[in-house]
Each structure stands twice: as C-alpha cells, then as structure tokens.
Amino acid sequence: DTGVSQDPRHKITKRGQNVTFRCDPISEHNRLYWYRQTLGQGPEFLTYFQNEAQLEKSRLLSDRFSAERPKGSFSTLEIQHTEQGDSAMYLCASSLSVGTGAYNEQFFGPGTRLTVL
Amino acid sequence: SQQGEEDPQALSIQEGENATMNCSYKTSINNLQWYRQNSGRGLVHLILIRSNEREKHSGRLRVTLDTSKKSSSLLITASRAADTASYFCATVGTQGGSEKLVFGKGMKLTVNP
C-alpha cells in the first residue's frame, strides 16, 4: 500500500504522560500536514511542512505540542504532559507541490486516535 | 476555528433517493472540496470545485458553488447504503501558500436499504 500511513492507530495514555505519533507520507510528496479532529467536529489544521521546514503552525498547537520532519520524509507529532482535552483523532495528510500555482490534492492517512484518561 | 458549516447536520433517506447537503463559508476561497469519512476508510476526497467554477460533476456527485453567497451544495443521486458516512466541506483560502484545508463540522448521512 503506497498511501499515507500513521502509527499507532490507537493510543490510550494517562494524563500527564508524553505521547508521540508518526506519519509516513506518500513517498514523493514534499508537503505534510497535521490535523486534529474531535468527536462530532471536522478536522482542524495544526501545522504543515514543506520538505523538512515547518512553515506554519496553528494557534491550536500549544507549547506542549511539537512536530518534526527531520529528513523531509516521515514526521512525528509529540504531545507532552497530555491533558484530557487532547483526546482526539490526529490526522496526517501529504501532497506534492510542484509550484505551478495549481492546487495540490492532500491525501489523508487513517489517523491516530488518542484517548487521555 | 472552522469556517464551513454544513446543513443539515444529519439526513436519513432511503436507498435510491437523492441527498443534498449545503455548505456555507466565511472568507474568500481558492477552491472548495467535499470529503467523506466513515470509520472503516478514513477521510476520502470526493470532488474539488475552483472559485471560478459554478458546477462540477463526478459520477453520481454534483457540486455547485456560489461565491457571491459563499455557499456550496453537494448532490448525491441514486444513493446507496454504502454512501452512509459523514460528509465535510473544506475550503482552501486565498491567503498564504500552505493550501491548508479549513473544514466544516460535517453532516451525517444515513442511507437505509
């Protein structure tokens, strides 16, 4: 399967613990996005990378959240000192931007469902 | 914050009937897209309509866009039980180069066999 993959698919943790999620984009895609989706809501943008550079972060991304894409391929999203309000589905998407001005479709992974007890 | 808002929030129809969902948004857009999400297959892209387009078709899907009213509609014709899912509209704004998607809250469609 050459789509976007995320690991783990489910994570249950206790309040105060740190968690890290991984996203593997489609191999040639240079853009990678993180979104968060809470129950009954649509996904909300968190941050995005162009290659290894993190170019935009949402106000939703508090200091407890950090994302990296060290080699411009896979990305990790870490949440420190988790809170119950962090419980959500964390979605990753990737796209190939070739700079022509045309919109570049994002392809989504299956998500990581986080439950903070 | 979410920009789009789908209407109705839930819709239940019989197989074979048409389903229409509406989406309103707030700011200028580059394009508007519709996605489907169910527990089995995640978020799936359905169709994209650019800001200079008014109508687009793809199979059983028909999307319209009215930029003067900042609204869009998605019509699914001859619905099937497999169309049961949540549907989201998402916009890409004209500011910045991220192409980030701004989603609505979604609408739950149930197609009864």
d(CA A32, CA A50): 7
Residue of B nearest to A9 (CA): B42
Q: Are A48 and A55 in contact (CB under 8 A)?
A: yes
Q: Report yes or no: A117 at the B interface, CB cutoff 8 Å.
A: no
Residue of B nearest to A92 (CA): B43
Residues in a beta bridge with B11: B109
pLDDT tens readout for residues B32-62: 999 999 876 689 999 999 999 999 999 999 9
- For residue A86, the 8-state DSSP code is G
Tell me which residue of A33, A35, A25, A7 sits closest to A91, measured CA to CA: A35
d(CA B72, CA B50): 11
Q: What is the pLDDT of residue A104?
A: 81
Q: What is the pLDDT of residue A101?
A: 67
pLDDT tens readout for residues B5-15: 777 789 999 99
Helix (H) or strand (E) holding B109: strand B107-112
Helix/strand/coil for A108: strand
Q: How far is B42 from chain A (nearest CA, A)?
A: 5
| Set of chain A residues whose Cβ sits within 8 Å of the Cβ of B58 | none
Q: What is the pLDDT of residue A100?
A: 66
